Amino acid sequence: MPRGGQSRISIVINGDRVEVPAGITVAAALFNLGITALRMSVSGEPRGPVCAMGVCFECRVTIDSRPHQRACLTAAVDGMHIQTASTS
């Protein structure tokens, strides 16, 4: 196993396949990759995680074609497809 025994999984973010640590949240995986704008506000401003505990809903992304999923509460799963910066 790479990196001191920590297993890795493969997910697809905005069409790009990446490897992330198993057990990581979607929000943490995106943050680690430098992706901080997860959605767009109705006025077109980029929005990202604020509370990281499921309260603010600013981290909503589309996961496996399901919109409005809170990235901070969702564990990344091997093969998961994530779309960020939607207008939803």
What are the residues binding ligand FES (CB under 6 A)? 49-52, 54-59, 70, 72
Minimum CB separation of residue 57 from ligand FES in Å reads: 5
Cβ 8 to ligand FES shortest distance, Å: 23
Q: Which is nearer to ligand FES, 55 or 75 (CB)?
A: 55
Q: What are the φ and ψ backbone dihedral angles of 19, each rounded to 5 degrees? A: -105, 140
State which residue, 17 or 68, has the beta carbon closest to ligand FES. 68
For residue 76, give Cα distances in angstroms to 16, 40, 50, 71. Answer: 15, 22, 19, 9
Per the CB < 8 A criterion, the answer to whether 15 and 81 are in contact is no
C-beta of 53 vs 77, nearer to ligand FES: 53
